[in-house]
Amino acid sequence: MLDTRGRKFVDPVIQFSAKFLLKKGFSANLITWIAFVTGILSGPLVWGGYPLAAVIILWVSGFLDAVDGALARMTKPSPWGTVLDVTFDRMVEISVILGLAFRFPQAAWSLLLLSVSIIISMTVFLTVGAVTEKKGMKSFYYQPGLAERTEGFIMFSLMMVFTGQLVVISLAFFGMILFTAGQRLLEAKRLLTKEE
C-alpha cells in the first residue's frame, strides 16, 4: 500500500540517486547485488544481538533496491535483472526471519507461519504477473496490496527492535500478508476472467 501510494514522495531522491550512480558507471544489476549483500547482513546482525544495526542495514538495502529499479528503467530493464531482484528480495526476508528464529527460538513457530504466508502471497503475486498481459512500471505486472515491500520493512524493523513482542508482531504481519494474498487473488480473478 505504501509503495503504491507513497512512492511519489520518495521518488525524487530515488531518481537523483539513480542518475548519480548511472553517471558513475554503475549498472542496475550491480546495484541489485549490492542491495542483496547489504540486506542479507541484517539476519546475522539481529542474530548477533545488534538489532539497530540490522534495521539500518535493512533500510539501506531497501533504498538500493528501489534505486536499482529506477536505474534499470533509465537504461534497459532486463529479464535477468527482474529475476535477481525478486529472488534477492525474498532471500533478504529469509535472512531476517532466520536471524530472529535463531536468536529467539521460542518465537520460531510464529516466524514459520510468517514464512508460509510469504510463500503463499508470492506464489499468487508471481503467478498473476506471469499469466496476465498487463504490464506496470516494472517488467511484470505489479499487484498492489495491503502488505507491500515498505510495510514488510516496517514490520521486520518492529520485530527486530521490539523483540519482547516478537510473536505478536510476527502474527500481525502474518495476517497482513494473508490478507494481501486474498486481495491479489480477487484482483487476479477479476483481471483474468476479463481477459478470457
Q: Which residue has the cell 532471500?
A: 91
- Contact of 96 with 156, CB cutoff 8 Å: yes
Task: Walk along the chain (196 residues) in steps of 10 and give the mean pLDDT of each run.
Answer: 68 92 93 96 97 97 93 87 91 97 97 96 85 59 74 96 97 95 86 70
- Contact of 164 with 177, CB cutoff 8 Å: no
The predicted structure's pLDDT at residue 137: 47
**Per-domain residue ranges for the chain?**
2-195
In tens, the pLDDT along 115-162 reads: 999 999 989 888 887 787 655 545 555 666 777 888 999 999 999 999
The predicted structure's pLDDT at residue 63: 95
Cell of 119: 510463500
The predicted structure's pLDDT at residue 134: 59
CB atoms within 10 A of CB 13: 12
- Contact of 161 with 51, CB cutoff 8 Å: yes
Q: Which residue has the cell 508482531?
A: 169
Cell of 185: 487473488
- Contact of 110 with 155, CB cutoff 8 Å: no
If you classify domain 2-195 with CATH, what class do you get?
A: mainly alpha
SS3 77: coil
Cell of 137: 512500471
Cell of 25: 558507471
> What's the CA gap between 185 and 179, in Å, rounded?
10
The predicted structure's pLDDT at residue 141: 59
Q: Give the contacts of 78 (CB within 8 A, at least 6 positions apart).
A: 28, 29, 72, 139
CB atoms within 10 A of CB 145: 22
The predicted structure's pLDDT at residue 135: 53
Angle in degrees, 0-180, between the axes of helices 28-40 and 51-74, rounded to the nearest 10: 170
